[in-house]
Amino acid sequence: MSSHKYNRSDQRRKREYIPEEKYDIDGTLIKNHAAFRNKRWDLKEIINNPKKYGEAIKEAQQYLKKQKEENSSLLDLESTRPWTEESDDLFFSRRRRGLVSWLIPTGSPIYYEFEGFYLKLRDSVNKGKVHNKDDCSGRMDKVRQEGEMLRHSLVLFQDFQAKKTANMKKKIEETRASLPITPFANAIVQTLLKNRILLIAGDTGCGKSTQVPQILMKAGFNKIACTQPRRIACSSLARRVPGKMYSVKIHYWSQGDDDKNLVDEAAHQKRQSETVKVLYEYTLQALKIY
């Protein structure tokens, strides 16, 4: 018995390409109705296609404008849940392979951020409207309308996130350009290319810890270490610097002991046999600030 290994790429290829015409039993070329069916809504495809993305934003704005003009709504504005359990499974559940579970899974921080965005949007659309009490027959109509509202809200939320990221990047660049150390970036690089040691003195907040490692990285230096006197300062610095920071290792030495990297070779060899107790050590990858 031969076992066929499941290949997800083959299934994706078959699902993406459906010919618009096919051959009938008698050999005549006929229209393939399966190619003209409504495709499954895919937020990733919309985001990656600028044309579809722009059309989706316009469609969402027109939908909200139309909803504001209506006098009643099927959405339950008094419920403690932002949306029904069926909609949550359809869009956000990882277990159910929701439509946007790859981006906004249930229980994640961005899930609750979208929940607040959706509630504000829903309340603004349904302000002053009369809620139609749903019965068993109208349950599916409510879920259908709620799903449509969620789809358009997700597109607008993605656009909101993109604009917020762009504004944050712009603010970061302006702040970086205004730091006192920025005009000396080229001088720092050129000096280190000619000398092994460079001492930089500056006031607190001038950009010594946050900007110098980035300046050196952009210049092509691939072995950069940035030390901080305290664990909180080290973690905070790793989070503040955009992009991928180096692995952060934190060690504690007893008062009076010398760091083995700062003593001479003889003292280092003497201390190799001693046990240096590491109270806390972890590796932290910096979060992207945008």
Distances (CA, A) of 110 to 41, 42, 167: 20, 19, 18
8-state DSSP, 95: T
The per-residue pLDDT for 270 is 57
Using one digit for the tens of pLDDT, what is the confidence trace for 246-284? Answer: 555 555 555 555 555 554 566 555 555 453 433 333 333
Q: Is the pLDDT of residue 59 over 60?
A: yes
pLDDT, mean over the chain: 76
Q: Is the pLDDT of residue 12 over 70?
A: no
Q: Is the pLDDT of residue 215 over 50?
A: yes
Whole-number Å distance between alpha carbons of 190 and 71: 69
- The mean per-residue pLDDT over the stretch 238-248 comes to 59
Alpha helices of 2-138 — where are they, by DSSP H? 8-16, 43-48, 50-69, 85-91, 109-125
Whole-number Å distance between alpha carbons of 218 and 93: 41
DSSP for 180-191, written as a single string: TTGGGHHHHHHH
- The mean per-residue pLDDT over the stretch 98-126 comes to 92
DSSP for 116-163, written as a single string: HHHHHHHHHHSTTPEEPPP-STTHHHHHHHHHHHHHHHHHHHHHHHHH
Residue scoring higher pLDDT (18 or 11):
18
The per-residue pLDDT for 233 is 79
Query: Token pair of 277, please?
Result: 């107790």
Q: Is the pLDDT of residue 64 over 70?
A: yes
Closest CA to 240 of 226, 223, 252: 226
Closest CA to 75 of 179, 24, 149: 149
- The mean per-residue pLDDT over the stretch 124-131 comes to 76
The per-residue pLDDT for 282 is 34
Closest CA to 285 of 239, 224, 216: 239
The per-residue pLDDT for 251 is 55
pLDDT-derived band at 288, boundaries 50, 70, 90: very low
The per-residue pLDDT for 210 is 84
The per-residue pLDDT for 134 is 54
Q: Is the pLDDT of residue 140 over 80?
A: no
User: At what angle are helices 50-69 and 139-178 packed, to 10 degrees?
Assistant: 120
The per-residue pLDDT for 162 is 93
Q: Is the pLDDT of residue 194 over 70?
A: yes
Q: Is the pLDDT of residue 119 over 70?
A: yes
The per-residue pLDDT for 88 is 93
Q: Is the pLDDT of residue 1 over 70?
A: no
Contact 250, 281 (CB under 8 A): yes
Overall residue count recorded for the chain in this entry: 290
Parallel, antiparallel or unpaired: strands 21-23 and 29-31:
antiparallel
The per-residue pLDDT for 78 is 62
Q: Is the pLDDT of residue 104 over 90?
A: yes
Give how far the C-alpha of residue 172 lies from the chain's centroid of Cα atoms, to the nearest Å: 18
Lowest model confidence (mean pLDDT) among 4-18, 56-70, 233-247: 4-18
CB atoms within 10 A of CB 150: 23
CB atoms within 10 A of CB 99: 21
